[in-house]
Amino acid sequence: MSVDLYVGGVEHAVLHLLYSRFWHKVLYDCGLVSTLEPFKSLRNQGIIVARSYLDANNAYVSPDDVTEKNGKYFHKTTGAELKSQIDKMSKSKLNGISPDEIIEEFGADSLRMYEMFMGPLEKEKIWNTEAVTGCKRFLTRFYDMVHSEKVSDETSDAALKLGLKLVSGVTSDIENLQFNTAIAKMMEFINEFTKLESYPKTVLMMATQCLMPFAPHLAEDAWEVLGVNEPLSSYPYPEVDEKLLEEATTTYVVQVNGKLRGRFELPKDQTEAVVFAAAKSNPLVLKHLEGRQVLRVVFVPNRLLNLVVE
């Protein structure tokens, strides 16, 4: 039987990937395994890099001894200008970051979340300690939301829809290893959810379940605050009926001779005549139609109305 997923850096391709493939071939030839390959799929994660600094003698300088002025870098003590480049994090290049220091300042959840939020899994990412504060700020907002006096046992349709949309989006992103976009969806969720008059506990439970893979410590705390008796790790994951996420309205784009002249939020599945009438009632569109004959109408249901005029 093959392993579903192998995640490894490209620098480990020889000692890890080829080695395992070699012995799997041997076992296959011996009739001990039934598959030709040991892994069903392979994903290479991008490395995290950071800026390094070199003096005139090509000796590495610690970032703590560097100051920036007008896009150039100088030694704080000597004032000498330094060369700067992006390198793989390494002790020898003095550009490594101690996880203990980051955890001490921001917390383990903030560090974990930032690493996944930096960018797509396969892409190279540049470390920026200051950017960790963004993830910490998000987690603080989540903590405040769960501890808010606005938490309620009653559920509204608007809140439930936000929760189901979050679960659907985060679930899909995790399955595709798109962790950065999953976190972005949680940030968008908080922005919309905190506008509500009350915070339904059932929706907060959904959000906490989505947060758990990224910030397990805070998620466990939130789960306890919400008063759920069953452990978070074994609680049934929410099921989403995609029909409940369908929007009743859609945005119709109106163009005149191919140029954008307006947008209209209307119920779905409107006829060409209805959208045309709405477009003509808008002053921004009407001023481009006055005194001109409409030669042709291009209509794409639920999306576009393009008026070709003389």
Confidence (pLDDT) at 250? 86
Query: With 0-12 CB in 10 A as exposed, 13-18 as middle and 19+ as buried, what is 206?
Result: buried
Angle between helix axes 132-146 and 108-117 (nearest 10 degrees) is 120
Confidence (pLDDT) at 248? 67
How do residues 232-279 score in pLDDT, each as one tens digit? Answer: 999 999 888 777 777 767 888 999 998 898 888 888 888 888 888 888
Local confidence band at 183 (pLDDT 50, 70, 90 cut-offs): very high
Tell me what the pLDDT averaged over the chain comes to. 91
How do residues 185-242 score in pLDDT, each as one tens digit? Answer: 999 999 999 999 999 999 999 999 999 999 999 999 999 999 999 999 999 998 887 7
Angle between helix axes 201-211 and 216-225 (nearest 10 degrees) is 160
- Answer with the residue of higher pLDDT: 280 or 216: 216
Confidence (pLDDT) at 268? 84
Confidence (pLDDT) at 290? 85
Confidence (pLDDT) at 283? 84
Instruction: Tell me how far apart the alpha carbons of residues 111 and 142 are, in angstroms, rounded to a whole number.
Output: 16
Confidence (pLDDT) at 278? 86
Instruction: Tell me how far apart the alpha carbons of residues 193 and 158 are, in angstroms, rounded to a whole number.
Output: 9
Confidence (pLDDT) at 2? 82
Token code pair at residue 205: 């439970």
Hey, what long-range contacts does 99-103 have (CB within 8 A, 24 or more apart)? 102/129, 102/132
Confidence (pLDDT) at 294? 87
Residue 56 has pLDDT above 80, yes or no: yes
Confidence (pLDDT) at 215? 97
Token code pair at residue 187: 């940030």
Local confidence band at 285 (pLDDT 50, 70, 90 cut-offs): confident
Beta strands in the chain (DSSP E): 6-7, 42-43, 48-54, 60-61, 66-69, 72-75, 81-88, 125-126, 151-152, 199-200, 249-256, 259-267, 294-300, 304-309
What's the average model confidence in pLDDT over 36-44? 91
Residue 184 has pLDDT above 90, yes or no: yes
Confidence (pLDDT) at 287? 86
Confidence (pLDDT) at 289? 85
